[in-house]
A and B are shown apart, each in its own frame.
Chain A
Amino acid sequence: MVRLLQIEFIKLWNNRASKILIISYFVLLTSIALVAAIKFEIGPIQFHLADQGIFNFPYIWHFNTFIAALFKLFLAIVIVSMMSNEYSNKTIKQNLIDGLSKREFILSKFLTVISFALISTVFVFIVSFVLGLTYSDFDELSIIFSNLEFLLAYFVKLVGFFTFCLFLGILVKRSAFALGFLILWAIIEQIIFGLLGWKLVSWETASAIKGILPLEAMSNLITEPFSRLKAVQSIANEIGEQVNLDYQVHWYEIVVVLCWTALFVYLSYALLKKRDL
């Protein structure tokens, strides 16, 4: 396993574009901390974002994992190109001839994806933990370490998304087209939802079905955290709106994403096995 990761590391780290993207990704993850510095004054109203409760435990776990997940596109580019470049440089052929099995090839890519997700999760944990300790109004241990399921959801979300990218890289073989396909797929999911609700089934069933589609399932894992903010809630109350979103991470949402992940890994392997290079 270490050998497979080392192989992937040599390939990635010697590629300048990948290296820059990976570094900027982690710099951006750290930069969530900069949000704390947002402060402005409009006349008599002083606004300091850090005082709005966004860094309170356990809400911070929710907020930070949601924001951090937005940056995943950077790594998606790296992952799609690390897969499709093997095709365009024909190095996949040479790898196999040199004695890497097809199984090992897919495994080395998947292990890299898991490592990326794991390192990101640890990163987000540390950044949030430090921010929380600095700004949170609550500092009892039981509160600090509650709602950690958001970190698990974040990890699963990244693994699922990156595995999808991996699969697209193998399927399409060209990085630009694979990324295009990713965007196209996001739109297709919405179209499927629209068609189902409009013509075939009730809107409720349609949105349940939509929840099973890969990208939607991944985004459902962590619901947007903004409407949970006190300020937003009170504004909503004033205009007579009730915000009734389910913010919890549900086990079945995690299962759905894990199923997609398994399917994508399997399909990547099946595709590679079937193809003549």
Chain B
Amino acid sequence: MEKILTVNHLSKKFGQLLAVNDLSFTIEKGNVYGILGPNGSGKSTTLGIVLNVVNRTKGEFAWFDGKTSTHNALKKVGAIIERPNFYPYMTAVQNLNLVCKIKEVPNTKIEEKLELVGLLDRKNSKFSTFSLGMKQRLAIASALLNDPEILILDEPTNGLDPQGIHQIREIIKKIAAEGTTILLASHLLDEVEKVCSHVVILRKGEKLYSGRVDGMLASHGFFELRTHNTELLKDYLGKHASFGAIKEENGLITAILKEQMDATELNRALFDQGITLSHLVKRKESLEEQFLELTKNQAN
């Protein structure tokens, strides 16, 4: 698989504070990556370093196998970090023209990209007159001008209203569907869960996990069950070798699986025991639950 970005033992200190600690990961072409982590976990700093705006303290990174200099590599990258930064006195089109000059690409795609983010009718308005949602969409249009090899988004929905969040997500999904590699940093887990196939999880500058989303926890999922005879059910589950922890909350029993088991199989077995269920759901842990599990394990 073609490597887009390789990060090797990267560290960054701000005075005494170690913002990024010995971080290594690889971004491969065609995947959608999420960088997860609470606020202050070093997500933005890491992106800042590979994007040439923050100086690294130690370690290395290489774009496209290190074949080009960082600033030339960045011409093939589309990136938005934190707030959208444009010249407030210039119109959308003028700002994008400038970006084209910097990236050394022809300015023929401006209208197409403005159309994609739904700003074509405002193309001659000054940037300062835009709402935050529009600014963020303009930033996405700008990042796409060069049809980048990889799109980097740092908290793209931060500070937006629900409608704005929805619009940005739709755009990201559209871009992901076209096969563009995406790197999405966020602390909003459902956001990452909806679009990412791979994750890098950071906490206090350290990497906790990097790999496929579904391989994050060696988990077989869990059952949510409800019945009239709760005690009988709990008793049965407790004796069954396939189940680990069993929790009860408002009559809803959650049984964590230790090994693979089919819902039909469980249903039949319970029926044979004379236990009839009014509710049976088999679920995988959501990314949020997995994330909390992972960060909790590491904290101990």
A-B contact pairs, 6 of them (CB 8 A): A11-B98, A89-B85, A91-B87, A99-B103, A99-B104, A102-B52
Residues from chain B with a CB closer than 8 A to the CB of A93 are 53, 81, 85
- Confirm or deny: B51 has a beta carbon within 8 angstroms of a beta carbon on chain A: yes
Q: Which of A5-31 contact B (CB under 8 A)?
A: 6-7, 10-11, 14-16
A97 with B87: CB separation less than 8 A: no
Select B102's contact among A15, A99, A276, beta carbons within 8 Å. A99
A97 touches B55 (CB 8 A): no
Interface residues of A in 138-153 (CB under 8 A from B): none
Inter-chain CB contacts under 8 Å: number? 81
Residues of A close to B75: CB separation below 8 A: 98-99
Closest to A3 in B: B101
1/0 contact string of B68-94 vs chain A (CB within 8 Å): 011111110101010101111110001
Residues of B within 8 A of A (CB): 14, 48, 51-55, 69-75, 77, 79, 81, 83, 85-90, 94, 97-99, 101-104, 142
Within the complex, the shortest CB–CB distance from A92 to chain B, in Å, comes to: 8
Once the chains bind, are A97 and B101 in contact (CB under 8 Å)?
no
Q: How far is the CA of A277 from the CA of B97 in the complex (A)?
A: 24
Interface residues of A in 99-131 (CB under 8 A from B): 99-102, 104
Known: A16-B89, A98-B74, A102-B52. 15 other contacts (CB 8 A): A3-B104, A10-B97, A10-B98, A89-B88, A93-B81, A94-B86, A95-B102, A97-B74, A97-B79, A97-B81, A98-B99, A101-B69, A101-B70, A273-B55, A276-B54
Which residue of B71, B77, B97 contacts A100 across the interface (Cβ within 8 Å)? B71
In the bound complex, what is the Cα–Cα distance between A210 and B54 (angstroms)? 39
Contacting pair B86 A98 (CB below 8 A): no
B51 touches A97 (CB 8 A): yes
Does A35 lie at the interface of the complex (its beta carbon under 8 Å from any beta carbon of B)?
Answer: no
Question: Which A residues touch B74, using CB under 8 A?
Answer: 96-99
Distance in angstroms from B110 CB to nearest chain A CB is 13
Interface of B is mostly: mixed
Q: Which residues of A contact B69 (CB under 8 A)?
A: 101
A268 CA to B214 CA, complexed, in Å: 49
Return A81 CB to nearest CB of chain B, in Å: 11
Query: Does A48 interact with chain B (Cβ within 8 Å)?
Result: no
Residue of B nearest to A100 (CB): B102
* B153 nearest CB across to chain A (Å): 12
Q: Report if A199 contacts B (CB, 8 A).
A: no
Residues of A contacting B83 with CB < 8 Å? 90
Q: Nearest 8 A-B pairs (CB), nearest first?
A: A99-B75, A101-B71, A99-B74, A94-B85, A90-B85, A277-B53, A98-B102, A276-B54
> Counting chain B CB atoms within 10 Å of each CB, which of A6, A14, A98 scores highest?
A98
Q: Identify which of B87, B94, B142 contacts A89 (C-beta below 8 A).
A: B87
Q: Are B87 and A14 in contact (CB under 8 A)?
A: yes
CB distance from A158 to the nearest CB of B (A): 26
Chain B residues with Cβ below 8 Å from A100 are 71, 102
List residues of chain A with CB within 8 A of the CB of B51.
96-97
| Complex contacts, B73 vs chain A, CB 8 Å | 99
Residues of B within 8 A of A91 (CB): 85-87
Q: Which residues of B contact A97 (CB under 8 A)?
A: 51-53, 74, 79, 81
Contact present for A15 and B89 (CB under 8 Å)? yes
By a CB distance below 8 angstroms, the chain B residues around A96 are 51-53, 71, 74
Q: Is the CB of B55 within 8 A of A274?
A: yes
